Amino acid sequence: MDIKSLIRNIPDFPQQGILFRDISTLLSNPAGLQYVIDTVAEKCAPLDIDYVIGIESRGFIFGMPLAYKMGLGFVPVRKRGKLPAAVYKAEYALEYGTDQVEMHQDAMPLGSRALIVDDLIATGGTATAAATLVDQAGCQLAGFAFIIERSVFRRAEKFARCPHY
C-alpha cells in the first residue's frame, strides 16, 4: 500500500516555508490506518517490547492502537505540566529556545523494554528527549517507530543504538 499517497501535504502551514504533513487523510482511510498499525506491529514484534510510548499528541494516535494490537501497555510522554504525579523530565531544542517533555515515574517497571512511537521524525529532538526519559526510568529503549520521515533527517546516527521503522 502506498501510505505516502494517503498523507496530505499542506504548504506554508502553520507558517510560510513549512510543509505540513497532514495525517488526517490517512486516519480517515480505514485500510490505510489498519495497514500502518499492522505493519508497524509486525516489524516491531521481534524487539521483545513491554510498553509502547507515544509522544504527545500525534504519537498517541498511533501508539494506542499499536499497544492494543501487540497486547502491551501504553505510556504517554506529555508536554511540560500535563501529568499529575511525579515525573521524569527531559529538555529538547526548538528553533528558538527549548521545551520539555515528561513521563510519570511509575509508568513502567525498572528494566522494561519500550518502543517510542510518533507520527513524524524531523529533527529528532522530541524523540531524543523521550529516549532520555526511558533511560531516567531505568528501562531499555527497544526502538523507534515513525510513520513519516522527513528527507532532511534520514535516520541520523543518534538513533543508531536501536532499530527504527
Give the 3-state secondary structure of residue 134.
Answer: helix
Per residue in 87-133, pLDDT (tens digit) is 999 999 876 789 999 999 999 999 999 999 999 988 889 999 999 99
- Count the helices and strands in the chain (H runs, E runs): 4, 8
Question: Which strands form 97-104's sheet, in the order they lie side by side?
Answer: 87-94, 97-104, 73-79, 51-55, 113-121, 140-149
- Residue 42 annotated in active site: no
Instruction: Evaluate if residue 66 carries a pLDDT over 50.
Output: yes
76 confidence band (pLDDT: 50, 70, 90) = very high
User: Per the residue annotation, which of 58, 78, 102, 113 is the catalytic one?
Assistant: 58
- Residue 56 annotated in active site: no
User: Per the residue annotation, which of 8, 56, 80, 95 is the catalytic one?
Assistant: 95
Instruction: Evaluate if residue 142 carries a pLDDT over 90.
Output: yes
The full set of domains in the chain, from first to last, is 46-159 (3.40.50.2020)
Asked if residue 142 lies in contact with residue 48, where contact means CB atoms within 8 angstroms, the answer is yes
